[in-house]
Amino acid sequence: MVLARKDPVRIKDLAEHFGVSPSTVSRALSPKGRSLISADLAARIRAKAEEMGYVGDVYATGLRTGRTRTVGVIIPDIQNPIFPPIVRGIQNRMDEAGLVTLIAYSDNRIDLARREVERLLGRRVDGLIYASAFLEDPVIDFCREQGVSLVLLNRSVRGARGLYHEVLNDEAEGIRQTVAHLASLGHRRIVHFNGPVDVLQGLERREALRRYVREYGLEAEECECTAFSREEGARCARQFLSARPSATAIVAGNDLIAIGAVQVFKEAGLRVPDQVSVVGFNGMPFSEMFDPPLTTVAIPHVQLGARAAEILLGEMQGESEGPLTVKLEPVLVARRSSGPAPGGAVDDPPRATETSLKPSIPSS
Partner DNA sequence: GTGAAAGCGCTAACAA
Partner DNA sequence: TTGTTAGCGCTTTCAC
Looking at residues 43 to 82 of the shown chain, list those that interact with a second copy (rule: CB under 8 A). Answer: 55, 57-60, 62-63, 68, 76-82
Q: Indicate whether 356 belongs to the interface with a second copy (CB under 8 A).
A: yes
Which residues between 244 and 273 bind a second copy (CB under 8 A)? 254-256, 259-260, 263, 267
- 42, 87, 139, 197: which one contacts a second copy (CB under 8 A)? 87
Q: Which residue type sits at 217?
A: G
Q: How many residues contact a second copy, by CB under 8 A?
A: 75
Q: Which stretch in 14-22, 224-232, 273-281, 346-354 sits in contact with DNA by CB under 7 A? A: 14-22
- Furthest-apart CA atoms within the chain: distance in Å: 88
- 52, 102, 163, 180: which one contacts a second copy (CB under 8 A)? 102
List CB contacts of 75: < 8 A, sequence separation 6 or more. 83, 86, 87, 103, 104, 105, 106, 131
Query: Measuring CA to CA, which residue among 263, 339, 331 is closest to residue 296?
Result: 331
Q: Where are the alpha helices (DSSP H) in 56-158?
A: 58-65, 83-96, 110-122, 138-146
Residue 202 near residue 226 (C-beta atoms within 8 A): no
Residue 160 near residue 140 (C-beta atoms within 8 A): yes
- 5, 64, 351, 358: which one contacts DNA (CB under 7 A)? 64
Q: Which stretch in 52-60, 237-245, 257-265, 271-279 sits in contact with DNA by CB under 7 A? A: 52-60
Q: Indicate whether 307 belongs to the interface with a second copy (CB under 8 A).
A: no
Q: Indicate whether 326 belongs to the interface with DNA (CB under 7 A).
A: no
Q: Indicate whether 70 belongs to the interface with DNA (CB under 7 A).
A: no
Q: Angle 138-70-131 (CA atoms, 0-180°, nearest 5)?
A: 35
Closest to a second copy by CB, 345 vs 357, is 357
Q: What is the DSSP string of 101-112?
A: EEEEE-TT-HHH
- 2, 3, 43, 57: which one contacts DNA (CB under 7 A)? 57
Q: Indicate whether 38 belongs to the interface with DNA (CB under 7 A).
A: yes
353's contact among DNA, a second copy, none, with CB below 5 to 8 A by partner kind, is: none
Strands (E), 178-275: 189-194, 219-224, 249-252
> Residue 4 CB, nearest distance to a second copy (Å)?
4
Q: Which stretch in 58-66, 175-183, 240-248, 290-298 sits in contact with DNA by CB under 7 A? A: 58-66
Q: For 68, phi and psi rounded to 5 degrees?
A: -115, 0
Closest to DNA by CB, 33 vs 342, is 33
Cα distances (angstroms) measured from residue 267 to each of 54, 140, 260, 270, 272: 64, 44, 11, 8, 11
